[in-house]
Chains A and B, each alone.
Chain A
């Protein structure tokens, strides 16, 4: 098991390398130039060229990448073109807000979505099922930014119990967490419903009932654990999706996280910050995938047997 985890961590290296090449190339394919953006539309041609040289942007792209990689391996992701602060420092400063948001939203989505799907499956074709399906469908259909604005309106203006934006206390995190969790929660509820419906028809559940053990035991020991396997997959996949949502949510609620940093950096073509931010996201997705695979092993001994 430990060997497997180490192997997977080692595998993260080529993945991050690939991501870095992709993002390095793609961002330079975009029209515009950071030097031009910084100096504004009235700048002289020579000033722009001078700045380009200073930033190293006039060198061949392969050389630029080589320099970037060499520094990155030493933990130095360059300096922000805009603020001249070290990128690593900026990312580290903003990382806690982002990871708290992404993590708490996935936890909330699981805590609400799983029971919701469970109720729908166990009370199949009743009003509870319909209600849960409706909530899931609505949750999936509502766009993040609209849900954010509506919740802000409701809980910050009509009933002012939560701050509308900013960062600092747990109260600031409530609305963004909810907004980010809505879609994931809807997907998890649907997934849980179909998963549980499949499991309760399995022979081994009938075997468990035939043993005369308490319904609670049948549910939690025999059904839930098996039903969780596909749900964990979805939750893992949607963690990546959530990171995309973080960008929007942080912008709406003015949270100083990596998402907002990225949006600003893309606008001003701040190459080093964009590269660094996306690498951090890629690392998060990679780590979450690893966690999901390790969770599988705990849920399903057949998978554990394959981890060598």
Chain B
């Protein structure tokens, strides 16, 4: 196993609101090796974006606050780094692609400038040199370099997202965090953008965290997947393993939600109920109220992470090892 590029440990983020303390991320662990792509999956409000923003240290403060945890990137803990150092990492070593290309570009600045300003900041390039490089980046995302001087409103949604990708890749970062990069796009454009991202990731050897609620996207681009629910990572493992045999009841439920074209619509099984209110602390497992396999223990005791055959699962069913054997797994140990 390679040394991980990014290692997140026990990260917790809260938002202090008028109604109380909203626990957005609850002690999560994440591992990402160099050159790999990790999918962070979960429904809206699970804490995926907050996780991404806290790795970038861009959680809006106040009301947000990173209350505990570390994120070790290239050997340094991003959570304790001085802001000056952090600015050197943002957009340079780690960049981010945001969800909505219609709003993530500044409407009053030409796209060229928006790409080249990161180059000017991190690679100490002069204006002309940075503009030339920005043009090259545009070409990389299949937009003619002559369009550098144009403004965001002169581009379509798919093109704008490609501009955002060019921006993120400009300084050749080690890690790209893509926060639902295709959600706001048309289905046909989604595929183009995903293909482009895959291509560029391979060309530049960049690692990636792909945040999405679309298991199809995960299957398309990721090596590992972490399933997030109510601020916790409930299952985390190799993509083939999890797609073959989801283990956590939530993951199982997620896969059952995907409609199958060969079956009648009535066989879709939505997960009953809603995600718990993040303002109310839960003593037990966060999925217990909706879990078809919940026991009395689940309501009172928070499950620890169990390591089952290389994947981490937060569920009492697997903590004691019984269930793992029932599924034919042999190595069971506590993380």
Contact = CB atoms under 8 A, between A and B. Distances in A.
Contacts of B56: 210
Interface SS of A by simple majority: helix
Contact of A209 (B90, B109, B110, B167): B90
A212 B87 CA distance: 5
Contacts of B143: none
Interface of B: 56, 58, 60, 86-92, 95-96, 98, 100, 103-110, 117-118, 120-122, 151, 153-154, 164, 167
Given A207-B164, A210-B91, A305 B153 contact: yes
A212 B90 contact: yes
Contact of B108 (A206, A211, A212, A299): A299
B159 to A, nearest CB: 16
28 contacts: A202-B103, A204-B103, A204-B105, A206-B98, A207-B98, A208-B106, A208-B117, A209-B90, A210-B95, A211-B90, A211-B117, A211-B118, A211-B121, A211-B167, A212-B86, A212-B90, A212-B91, A213-B87, A213-B91, A213-B118, A213-B120, A214-B121, A221-B109, A226-B107, A299-B108, A301-B108, A302-B108, A305-B153
A204 B105 CA distance: 5
Given A209-B58, A301-B153, 9 more contacts: A204-B106, A206-B104, A207-B105, A210-B58, A210-B98, A213-B118, A226-B107, A300-B107, A305-B153
A226 B98 contact: no
Q: Can you list the 9 inter-chain pairs with the closest CB atoms, starting with the nearest?
A: A212-B90, A211-B91, A212-B91, A203-B103, A211-B118, A204-B106, A301-B151, A203-B104, A210-B96
A204 B117 CA distance: 14
Contacts of B110: 301
Interface in A179-221: 201-214, 217, 221
Contacts of A205: 106
Contacts of A217: 117, 121
A213 B125 CA distance: 13
Contacts of A241: none
Contacts of B118: 211-213
Contacts of B122: 212
A226 B122 CA distance: 25
Contacts, number: 83
Nearest to A211: B91
A48 B103 CA distance: 71
A7 interface: no
Most-contacted residue by chain A among B91, B98, B106 (CB, 10 A) = B106
Given A212-B89, A212-B91, A217-B117, A222 B106 contact: yes
Contact of B100 (A203, A212, A214, A221): A203
A192 B86 CA distance: 30
Contacts of B164: 207
Contacts of B86: 212
Interface in A72-123: none
A210 B90 contact: yes
A225 interface: yes
A76 B293 CA distance: 94
Contacts of A226: 106-108
A209 B91 CA distance: 8
A202 B108 CA distance: 13
A122 to B, nearest CB: 14
A225 B153 CA distance: 17
Nearest to A221: B109
Contacts of B92: 212
A203 B179 CA distance: 12
A302 B107 contact: yes
Contacts of A210: 56, 58, 90-91, 95-96, 98
A294 to B, nearest CB: 16
A204 B104 contact: yes
B185 to A, nearest CB: 15
Nearest to B101: A203
Nearest to A304: B151
B98 A203 contact: yes
